[in-house]
Amino acid sequence: FAAVDVIRAKRDGARLRDEQIDWVVDAFTRGVVADEQMAALAMAILLRGMDAAETARWTGAMIDSGERLSLRCSRPTVDKHSTGGVGDKITLPLAPLVAACGAAVPQLSGRGLGHTGGTLDKLEAVPGWRAELSTDEIAAQLESVGAVVCAATPSLAPADRKLYALRDVTGTVESVPLIASSIMSKKIAEGADGLVLDVKTGSGAFMKTREQARALATALTEIGAAHGLATTAVLTGMDTPLGAAVGNAVEVAEAVEVLRGGGPADVVALTVALAREMLALAGLPEVDPARVLASGAAYETWCRMIRAQGGDPEAELPRPAHVHVEPAPESGVLTRLDAYGVGVAAWRLGAGRARKDDPVQLAAGVRCLAKPGDTLERGEPLFALHTDTPEAVAAVLPTLREACTIGDAHGNAPGAGEAAE
Ligand code: URA
């Protein structure tokens, strides 16, 4: 094969043949196909698309670029993937909850980039907690605790790591077949028995419209079906942040509230709804996750999960050097609280990173003290801004002011999770 022929074929709108796909992905991973050739092919795919069979084959080739983890476990294994949002800390209460219900959850996660947070960055706010585990450690913890949230091992779909870095700088991230194959290659290589996908839609999500989100959900479940992985997708709203906390330590604190029987209603509702989907895939539809959550068993599993990775679940979480409370500028009903704006503000306060290897501030973030539908008096606290770099506060206040609308009428902004279907 010659890379240029594969590029020309897709450029001109042809279907790629199985042998072409297998060859080009393998040769790219080995450095035989150059970055500029793969970038050109990614652009041709973005413009011309790939059908379901091509996308499934592409995913298989990416899986075959690395190792499959065979996490044998005495319980059924089931994982969850969210396409990313603002304040989306659901993995934190969900993994121990589903484990406490009798399934095993191997959740290989990532770090945040841009306005969406990463689960590993959040958990690293817990003193002592360690993200990097060996495959043997993952397997042992899965058996003993039933839940592992850790970094993906480097041997998992290395073609995807290389391709994603290239797409990131060549304007080729936003292709449904490339996004779907990227997500599913890692999840299939992980080897769980079932997968629940939480596909976010709205201002704070990757997919801004329900149509786009539905197309991604379809592509993801088709790949699951082609590779024999039982996959369910739910579409949930991301126009407004999930819960009140957006950041790292602040989100861990909110997840712990949920695990202890409290926490914001939208976070509890989505955690329980996704747990039900996961238990159905794990063959445990009769277990009621709401009761297990209320019993305290999920909190106990959380403590064991954190301790197994060197963390101290009782330790105080990092505190910011500076907290600024921003009052409501006028009286009225909060009709809009925009997820993207709040996500950007938390990121600029230090909770997120601009480049892949930048450090994050563990204590930075935003706490939203009102949610859409709440009535506010002028001067009442609206946001609490946490940061170690107080000069960032003035820079983010205009973004936060623009992210909310205070009006007379009740808004109908759906809480994230209520739109699950
Ligand atoms: N997340 C991924 O893992 N891959 C993509 O391409 C986009 C989002």
pLDDT tens track for 62-102: 999 999 998 889 999 999 999 989 999 999 999 999 999 99
pLDDT(130) > 60: yes
pLDDT level of residue 409 (50, 70, 90 thresholds)? low
| Catalytic-residue membership of 167 | yes
Residue 122 pLDDT greater than 60, yes or no: yes
State how beta strands 147-151 and 332-337 pair: unpaired
33 lines ligand 1 (CB under 6 A): no
Contacts (Cβ under 8 Å, ≥6 apart) of 245: 87, 89, 251, 253, 254, 365, 366, 367, 368
Residue 163's pLDDT is 96
Residue 7 has pLDDT above 80, yes or no: yes
Which atom of ligand 1 has the smallest separation from the CA of 110? 3
Alpha helices in 282-413 (DSSP H): 289-295, 297-308, 339-346, 391-403
Residue 62's closest CA among 170, 176, 167, 187?
187
Phi-psi region of 246 (alpha: psi -120 to 50; beta: other; left: phi over 0): beta
- Of 131, 104, 101, 135, nearest in space to 118 by CA: 131
* Ligand 1 nearest-atom number relative to CA 182: 4
Contact 368, 241 (CB under 8 A): yes
Across the range 381-395, mean pLDDT stands at: 97
End-to-end CA distance of the chain: 45
Which position has the higher pLDDT, 368 or 418? 368
CB of 157 within 6 A of ligand 1: the answer is no
**CA 314 to ligand 1 center in whole angstroms:** 34
Q: Is 279 helix (H, G, I), strand (E, B) or coil?
A: helix
Do residues 116 and 84 touch, judged by C-beta distance below 8 A? Answer: yes
Q: What's the whole-number mean pLDDT along residues 157-172? A: 93
pLDDT per position as a tens digit, 240-249: 999 999 999 9
Among 189-203, 353-367, 381-395, name the one with the lowest average pLDDT: 353-367
Is the confidence at residue 145, as pLDDT, over 80?
yes
Nearest CA to ligand 1 atom 7: 179
Task: Please state, rounded to an integer, the average pLDDT across all residues of the chain.
Answer: 94
Averaged over 11-15, what is the pLDDT? 98
> CB count, 10 Å around CB of 136?
8
User: Would you say residue 416 has pLDDT above 60?
Assistant: no
The ligand 1 atom nearest the CA atom of 164: 6
Q: Which of 121, 160, 198, 266 is catalytic?
A: 160
Average pLDDT over residues 377-382: 97
Point out the catalytic residue in the list 65, 109, 182, 203: 182
Q: For this structure, is 182 an active site residue?
A: yes
Residue to mutate (ligand 1; options 58, 182, 190, 238; most atoms within 8 A of CB): 182
pLDDT value at residue 355: 78
Give me the pLDDT at residue 414, please. Answer: 42
82 is catalytic: no
Q: How far apart are CA 41 and CA 110, in angstroms?
A: 26
Ligand 1, residues 46, 63, 179: which to mutate, most atoms within 8 A of Cβ? 179
Q: What is the whole-number distance in angstroms between the Cα of residue 326 and the centre of ligand 1?
A: 34
CA of residue 15 to ligand 1 center, whole Å:
23
Q: Is 179 in the pocket of ligand 1 (CB under 6 A)?
A: yes
Told to judge if 186 belongs to the known catalytic residues of this protein, a careful annotator would answer yes
**Can you name the residues that pair with 201 across neighbouring β-strands?**
207, 237
Q: Which of 10, 167, 348, 386 is catalytic?
A: 167
Confidence of residue 253 (pLDDT cuts 50, 70, 90): very high
Contacts of 157 (CB under 8 A, 6+ apart): 62, 63, 65, 66, 185, 186, 189
| Probe residue for ligand 1, chosen from 164, 167, 207 as the CB with the greatest number of ligand atoms within 8 Å | 164
Give residue 412's pLDDT: 46
**3-class SS at 203?**
coil
Which is the closest atom of ligand 1 to the Cα of 178? 6
Query: Distance between CA atoms of 195 and 176, rounded to whole angstroms?
Result: 19
How high is the pLDDT of residue 168? 85
Is it the case that residue 418 has pLDDT exceeding 80?
Answer: no
Contact between 225 and 326 (Cβ < 8 Å): no
Residue 109 Cβ contacting ligand 1 at under 6 Å: no
Q: Which of 55, 115, 173 to mutate to test the pocket of ligand 1 (most atoms within 8 A of CB)?
A: 173
Out of 10, 57, 81, 386, which one is annotated catalytic?
Answer: 81
- Model pTM score: 0.94
- Concerning whether 5 is annotated as a catalytic residue, the answer is no
pLDDT confidence bin for 189, thresholds 50/70/90: very high
Residues whose CB falls within 8 Å of the CB of residue 181, separated by 6 or more in sequence, listed in order = 55, 58, 59, 62, 160, 223
Please tell me if the CB atom of residue 182 comes closer than 6 angstroms to any atom of ligand 1: yes
Domains defined for the chain, CATH in brackets: 3-49 (1.20.970.10), 78-154+173-308 (3.40.1030.10), 322-407 (3.90.1170.30)
51 residue type, one letter: D
Contact 71, 191 (CB under 8 A): yes
> What tokens were used for 190?
């992980």
Distance 336 CA to ligand 1 centre (A): 28
Closest C-alpha among 243, 290, 249, 297 to residue 90? 243
Which residue owns the Cα nearest ligand 1 atom 2?
183
Residue 51: the pLDDT is 98
Distance from the CA of 181 to the center of ligand 1, in angstroms? 8
CA distance 68 to 97: 26
